[in-house]
A = this chain, B = another copy of it.
Amino acid sequence: MATWLPTLITNTPEEGYDLAVKLSRIAIKLTQPDAEARERMRPDYAEDADALIAVSQVVATHFATISAANNYWRDAS
């Protein structure tokens, strides 16, 4: 059975950042499962500076978690 989140471990910081973006979007899908409703709202945030900053805050919170999980990719640096 497939899972959308098999692990928090990534090869690089950039992949970790991409995963943080994904994690921030999943909560929105779980709260509003209707894809059309989400699509209708897209201009509300994609054209709104405050909403974009708020999205950026959620990503930052998830990136902190993923960075800790990966021990900050210190071995890769």
Give the B-binding residues of A (Cβ under 8 A): 3-9, 12-14, 17, 21, 23-28, 30-32, 37, 41, 44-65, 67-69, 72-74, 76-77
Contact = CB atoms under 8 A, between A and B. Distances in A.
A5 B59 CA distance: 15
A64 B63 CA distance: 10
B3 A12 contact: yes
Nearest to A12: B3
The 9 closest A-B pairs by CB, nearest first: A69-B72, A27-B56, A60-B61, A44-B49, A7-B77, A27-B59, A45-B49, A9-B77, A5-B14
Nearest to A43: B49
A44 to B, nearest CB: 4
